[in-house]
Structure 1
Amino acid sequence: MKQFLKGHKKLVILGIGNEMRGDDGLGPVMAQKLAPYEKENFTVFDAKTVPENFTGAIKKEAPSHMIILDAVDMNEAPGHIRLVNKEEIANYNISTHAMSLSFLIKYLESTHPVKIILLGIQPKNMDLNRGISPEIQKSMDYIYRLLTSKIIS
């Protein structure tokens, strides 16, 4: 993460997912927790299941770096955290949103020079009307502490 963010001038966090589908809600929940830390060089978007609706706002922010937070099925233990490079995104089953993240990233990169990475957490349960699983909450707490203490503070 430190290597990815080296020399960043403006960071955007994009939380993606559906809060009604258990662990798939981790992106929006994280975005809501990080929003109070927004400042001139740090912006958060809670995109829910429609990240494509935020392309204009992201372009307006003109970030140098962007982290996408989402549930990613990596065939790992629940709560496993992985930084997924944009070239690897097609190899994973990504969340419940309609637009391909690969397409979204290509579009954003074509409109503004930005470094983008996906911070994925392996979900345990994505059934309707379920809360975040304890394993996923533990990983979310770790990411929250990492971001708030080392990167955005």
Structure 2
Amino acid sequence: MEKRILVLGIGNLLWADEGFGVRCVEALNAGWRFGANVTVMDGGTQGLYLLPYVQEADCLLVFDAVDYGDTPGDLREVVGDQVPRFMGAKKMSLHQTGFQEVLMAAELTGKLPAELVLIGVQPEELEDYGGSLRDVVKAQMAPALDLALAWLGRWGATASRRDDAAEAITDRALAMDVYEAGRPPADQACRLGDARFLNGEAA
């Protein structure tokens, strides 16, 4: 019987290196096709909404940007019961709190995937609203995909190179090339959030 495999990218594309996980699943989906037992998903920052998908999986592979305290761009492969610990060790944002809760809820319901893998990168920049991946983080996408494909192979998943255009798993307006090309200059778009609140005008 084929294992049900979920490949999940989590994070927030709008905050620079926070988008690493989502960019990885975009690239995996664009470059490879898999059998019906493999689901490649943009989990974004959905938190507990991801629980049913996690509960249905036998094997779960997660891409994410995680603050390990390492050198920016360092890539780590975390396996098994270490995954929830790493997801919660030093949270960078609410999405990690939410996903740690997903794993806990799946375990409490007796439906935690039998195999867990986290492929995480140490971010360089997070506080850049509307920014894209920094070069040291973007450079780790290809190695991260290689690690993922190796795990998928161990789990018995069939993978073949695409020779056609994949159906996008994120909105085309957020695709990396469009997103990076369309960013307004700094004098037209605040880099840290909503300037009205940052300047205290809403107080």
The TM tier, using the shorter chain, reads 0.7 to 0.9
CA RMSD of aligned residues (A): 2.3
**Separation in 2 of the partners of 1:117 and 1:149?**
11
Is 1:64 aligned to residue 85 of structure 2? no
**Aligned-partner Cα distance in 2 for 1:17–1:67:** 14
TM-score by length of 1: 0.80
CA apart distance, 1:132: 0.7
User: Is contact 1:11–1:66 with CA below 8 Å preserved after alignment?
Assistant: yes
Instruction: Report what 2:123 is aligned to.
Output: 123
**Distance change (3 Å), C-alpha of 1:87 and 1:138:** same
- Any idea what the Cα deviations from partners look like across 1:43-66, whole Å, max 9, x if unmatched? 11101111322222343xx22110
Identity %: 23
Cα distance in 2 for partners of 1:37, 1:93 equals 32
Structure 2 stretches lacking a partner, 5+ long: 160-203
Larger radius of gyration: 2
Give the distance between the partners of 1:118 and 1:147, measured in 2 at CA.
9
- Segments of 5+ residues of structure 1 without an aligned counterpart are 1-7
Q: TM-score, normalised by structure 2?
A: 0.62
Paired residues of 1:70 and 1:95 also in contact (CA < 8 A): no
The number of residue pairs the alignment matches comes to 144
Q: Whole-Å Cα distance in 1 between the matches of residues 146 and 118 of structure 2?
A: 18
1:88 Cα deviation from its structure 2 partner: 2.3
Q: Pick the structure with more strand per residue.
A: 1
Please list, as runs of the form range in 1=range in 2, the aligned pairs for 1:1-153 lying within 5 A after superposition.
9-35=3-29, 36-59=32-55, 62-84=56-78, 85-89=82-86, 90-97=88-95, 99-109=97-107, 110-114=109-113, 115-126=115-126, 127-148=128-149, 151=153, 152=157, 153=159
Aligned 8 A contact 2:66 2:122 in 1: yes
CA gap 1:37/1:94 in 2 versus in 1, 3 angstroms: farther
How far did 1:146 drift? 3.2
